């Protein structure tokens, strides 16, 4: 069935047909016709953010916590350019979002009109794909294709730029139908390669599963298959920052996160393994450390839906292009049909070695005195919230790494963090998007005070929509990770890494009409966290923590997995000149 309608109405209709229930946006001149249509319907809820960057991060939070694409509607020019950081963030973390931007009318494009920007030009490198729609008749087709591209294959952000005259004009609406475009990424893995991996699993003496965000993106079924595979083989498993929750943190095969601030046991296991099974991760530089010394003796299998991830950084011995869920299903089938074999004796020995590494207890810390250690704050937050229906967002920096280390994730889609781009200011708007998708859940944004201030305007959004998001700020009055690197790399010259004029966060919360809680004494911490949890509304929790705490363990730049720093003992001069050019 096709119908005649205006472009603006088509947009709303296409969103409804795509099953969209929530959009995040900010109006402006070039999207007024669309906003007029948004006004005249009740199917889609529009969340008015306070800055377009916030809209995109909120949509990312929505998408990461639901597995559905997040949708953003912003105006031309500055509306579009403000969305660029969020688009890049979503591109690097493979998050499906659809951003709709207004554009000046087609006959004014190229004239440097008011609020004109070359939006498709600017966003070409930071989207998976984008479109400028110049004819109303083509609009609905492009919108449906945009959802298809955003969610197929390796997910990512897409943008549709819609000139104002296209919104006003009338055209033919084509309803959603299965995509017939040539863009149909391969999801089934090659059976020969999968069989080769099964053979490697059967023979492995020191194996490890190294999993990533691809497992989460593949859907809850993939996490289920992963759990089955881990339990059935008895192999140890570690994960990247992006993959936390695919395998439960309480599982006995769990080694903790790997990488620059990963656990000692996870990194040593990676370094010493003879079979590395990479499932939906991409050998990011935060994971590998120095490439030449990365897991030197292992055979490496790499399962990824994006062929360009394979052999990009680390050569794969067993490359498998496909969707994690599909590949794991086939892998389990083949492995079972061949008799569920593993080198059980060798695996037991391997675990004995791993237990020795585990015994280092690399995340231990000592809370003493009257100053809260950030690790202690997160341990208490974990203890008091782990039984809740809980979603965690973070900003970027030390607090993010501590959250990954000290909070346990039992399920996928419960952990929203900016991994690839490392966007300070991500977490707060993301928590708004998560809370919109899960109104009754406990949504906590673990933040640093510096990151949090980057998108603090969204407090207005949280209060307006009565979203009880908990902003758990570990306040060290420093840019903690910058300060840590300056200590390790730049002779303790703390250039611009502290703020001398922080707001009173309690008063700030009150100014927005929310609740503020200040906590500076470890003895008060539990009560203060309970007060936060019991308050039905947004809370800013200002947790004053130790100002000079460093985040360990740490693989220094330019070093290998087995050269981790475990604590404060000896950190000066550990990064040589070659390592110091790395970020």
Any idea which residues carry the catalytic annotation? 52, 114-115, 164, 481
**306 counts as binding another protein under rule CB under 8 A:** yes
- Indicate whether 316 belongs to the interface with another protein (CB under 8 A): yes
Q: What are the structure tokens assigned to 440, written together?
A: 């009754």
Question: Binding another protein by CB under 8 A: which of 1, 112, 182, 297?
Answer: 182
Candidates 311-319, 360-368, 412-420, 561-569: pick the segment binding another protein (CB under 8 A): 311-319
Q: Which is nearest to 49 in space by CA: 469, 564, 428, 449?
A: 428
Regarding 338 and contact with another protein (CB under 8 A), the answer is no
Among residues 279 and 519, whose Cβ is nearest to another protein?
279
Q: How far is the CB of 156 from another protein (least distance, A)?
A: 10
- 79 belongs to the binding site for another protein (CB under 8 A): no
Angle at 286 between CA 414 and CA 220, to 5 degrees: 25
Candidates 71-79, 314-322, 430-438, 501-509 — which segment interacts with another protein by CB under 8 A? 314-322
Cα 68 to Cα 57: distance, rounded to the nearest angstrom? 14
| Angle at CA of residue 543, ends 538 and 548, nearest 5° | 145
Segment near another protein (CB under 8 A); pick from 77-85, 316-324, 436-444, 502-510:
316-324
Min dist. Cβ of residue 565 to another protein (A):
31
In eight-state DSSP terms, residue 555 is -
> CA-to-CA distance for 541 and 546, rounded, in angstroms?
16
Least Å distance, CB 279 to another protein, is: 16
Least Å distance, CB 229 to another protein, is 22
SS3 category, 25: strand
Q: From residue 289, how far is each of 158, 560, 569 by CA, in Å?
A: 31, 5, 21
Q: Scanning residues 459 to 498, which ones bind another protein (CB under 8 A)?
A: none
State which residue, 161 or 549, has the beta carbon closest to another protein. 161
Interaxial angle between packed helices 52-66 and 427-437, expressed in degrees from 0 to 180 and rounded to the nearest 10: 50
Least distance (Å) between residue 383 CB and another protein: 44
Compute the distance between CA of residue 326 and CA of residue 499 in angstroms, rounded to an integer.
49
Choose between 316 and 442: whose C-beta lies nearer to another protein.
316
Interaction residues for another protein, span 100-129 (CB under 8 A): 120-121, 124-125, 128-129
Q: How far is the CB of 210 from another protein (least distance, A)?
A: 19
**Binds another protein (CB under 8 A): choice among 308, 348, 499, 572:** 308
| 553 preceded by a cis bond (ω within 30 of 0) | yes
Query: Which of 40/308 has CB closer to another protein?
Result: 308
- Contact between 86 and 53 under an 8 Å Cβ cutoff? The reply is yes
* Torsion angle in degrees (nearest 10) through CA of 215, 158, 151, 6: 160
Taking the complex as a whole, how short is the minimal distance between the CB of residue 185 and another protein, in angstroms? 8
In angstroms, what is the minimal distance from the CB of 260 to another protein? 23
Number of residues that bind another protein (CB under 8 A): 23
CB 385 → another protein: shortest distance, Å?
39
Among 2, 170, 186, 348, binds another protein (CB under 8 A): 186
Indicate whether 170 belongs to the interface with another protein (CB under 8 A): no
Smallest separation (angstroms) from another protein to the CB of 160: 13
Helices 374-385 and 398-406: crossing angle, nearest 10°? 40
Task: Compose the 553-572 pattern: x for residues touching another protein by CB under 8 A, - for all others.
Answer: --------------------
Tokens of 88: 């890049």
| Strands 318-321, 299-304: pairing kind | parallel
521, 497 contact by CB (below 8 A): no
Judged by CB under 8 A, which stretch of 251-259, 276-284, 303-311, 374-382 contacts another protein? 303-311
Residue 132 interacts with another protein (CB under 8 A)? yes
Would you call 413 exposed, middle or buried from its count of C-beta atoms within 10 A (0-12, 13-18, 19+)? buried
- Taking CB under 8 A as the criterion, the residue among 183, 341, 466, 530 binding another protein is 183
One residue of 9, 154, 271, 300 binding another protein per CB under 8 A: 154
CB 18 within 8 A of CB 176: yes
Instruction: Give the DSSP H or E segment for 277.
Output: strand 275-279
Number of C-beta neighbours around residue 451 at 10 A: 28
Which among 523, 541, 364 is positioned nearest to 444, based on CA atoms? 541
Rounded Cα distance between 451 and 424, Å, is 5
Q: What order of strands is seen across the sheet that includes strand 515-519?
A: 415-416, 390-394, 442-448, 470-475, 539-544, 515-519
When asked if residue 326 is in the footprint of another protein (CB under 8 A), the reply is no
Burial of 97 (0-12, 13-18, 19+ CB in 10 A): buried
List the one residue from 3, 45, 188, 315 that touches another protein (CB under 8 A): 315
188 counts as binding another protein under rule CB under 8 A:
no
250 or 308: CB nearest another protein: 308
CA 35 – CA 40 distance, rounded (Å):
9
Q: Which is nearer to another protein, 207 or 319 (CB)?
A: 319
User: For another protein, which is the closer residue by CB, 128 or 390?
Assistant: 128
Residue 307, interface with another protein (CB under 8 A)? Answer: yes
Query: What is the rounded distance in angstroms from the CA atom of residue 308 to the CA atom of residue 243?
Result: 19
Q: Using the rule CB under 8 A, give the single segment among 75-83, 146-154, 267-275, 280-288 that binds another protein.
A: 146-154
Q: Select from 30, 72, 257, 310 the one that contacts another protein (CB under 8 A).
A: 310
Within 451-565, strands assigned E span: 470-475, 515-519, 539-544
Residues that bind another protein (CB under 8 A): 120-121, 124-125, 128-129, 132, 149, 153-154, 182-183, 186, 306-308, 310-312, 315-316, 319, 321
């Amino acid at each position: 069935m096709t119908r005649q309608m205006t472009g603006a109405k088509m947009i709303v209709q296409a969103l409804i047909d795509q099953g969209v229930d929530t959009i995040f946006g900010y109006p402006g001149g070039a999207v007024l016709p669309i906003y007029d249509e948004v006004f005249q319907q009740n199917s889609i809820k529009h969340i008015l953010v306070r800055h377009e960057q916030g809209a995109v991060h909120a949509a990312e939070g929505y998408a990461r916590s639901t597995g559905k694409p997040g949708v953003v509607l912003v105006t031309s020019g500055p509306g579009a350019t403000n969305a660029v950081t969020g688009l890049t963030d979503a591109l690097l973390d493979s998050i499906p979002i659809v951003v709709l931007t207004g554009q000046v009318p087609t006959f004014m494009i190229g004239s440097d009109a008011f609020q004109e920007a070359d939006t498709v030009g600017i966003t070409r490198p930071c989207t998976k794909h984008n479109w400028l729609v110049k004819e109303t008749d083509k609009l609905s087709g492009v919108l449906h294709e945009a959802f298809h591209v955003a969610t197929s294959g390796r997910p990512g952000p897409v943008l549709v730029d819609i000139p104002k005259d296209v919104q006003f004009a009338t055209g033919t609406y084509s309803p959603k139908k299965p995509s017939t475009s040539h863009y149909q990424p391969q999801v089934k893995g090659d059976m020969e390669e999968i069989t080769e991996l099964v053979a490697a699993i059967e023979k492995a003496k020191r194996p490890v599963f190294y999993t990533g965000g691809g497992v989460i993106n593949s859907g809850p079924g993939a996490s289920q298959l992963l759990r089955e595979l881990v339990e059935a083989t008895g192999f140890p498993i570690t994960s990247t920052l992006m993959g936390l929750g695919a395998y439960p943190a309480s599982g006995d095969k769990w080694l903790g996160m790997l990488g620059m601030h990963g656990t000692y046991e996870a990194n040593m296991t990676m370094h010493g393994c003879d079979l590395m099974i990479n499932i939906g991760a991409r050998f990011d530089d935060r994971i590998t450390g120095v490439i030449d010394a990365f897991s030197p003796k292992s055979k490496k299998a790499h399962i990824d839906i994006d062929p360009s991830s394979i052999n990009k950084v680390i050569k794969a011995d067993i490359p498998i292009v496909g969707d994690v869920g599909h590949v794991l299903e086939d892998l389990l089938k083949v492995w079972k049909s061949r008799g569920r074999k593993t080198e059980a004796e060798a695996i037991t020995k391997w675990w004995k070695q791993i237990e020795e590494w585990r015994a280092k207890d690399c995340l231990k810390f000592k809370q003493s005195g009257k100053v809260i250690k950030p690790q202690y704050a997160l341990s208490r937050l974990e203890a008091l919230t782990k039984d809740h229906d809980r979603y965690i967002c973070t900003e970027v920096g030390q607090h993010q790494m501590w959250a990954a280390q000290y909070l346990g994730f039992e399920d996928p889609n419960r952990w929203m963090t900016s991994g690839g781009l490392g966007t300070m200011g991500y977490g707060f708007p993301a928590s708004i998007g998560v809370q919109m998708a899960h109104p009754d859940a406990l949504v906590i944004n673990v933040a640093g005070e510096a990151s949090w201030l980057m998108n603090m305007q969204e407090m207005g959004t949280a209060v307006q929509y009565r979203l009880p998001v908990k902003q758990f700020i570990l306040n060290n009055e420093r840019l903690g990770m910058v300060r840590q690197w300056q200590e390790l790399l730049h002779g303790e010259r703390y250039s611009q890494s502290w703020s001398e004029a922080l707001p009173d966060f309690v008063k700030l919360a009150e100014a927005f009409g929310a609740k503020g809680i200040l906590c500076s004494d470890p003895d008060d911490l539990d009560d203060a966290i309970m007060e936060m949890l019991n308050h039905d509304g947004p809370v800013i929790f200002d947790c004053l923590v130790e100002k000079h705490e460093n985040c360990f363990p740490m693989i220094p730049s330019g070093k290998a997995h087995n050269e981790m720093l475990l604590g404060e003992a000896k950190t000066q001069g550990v990064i040589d000149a070659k390592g110091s050019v790395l970020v």
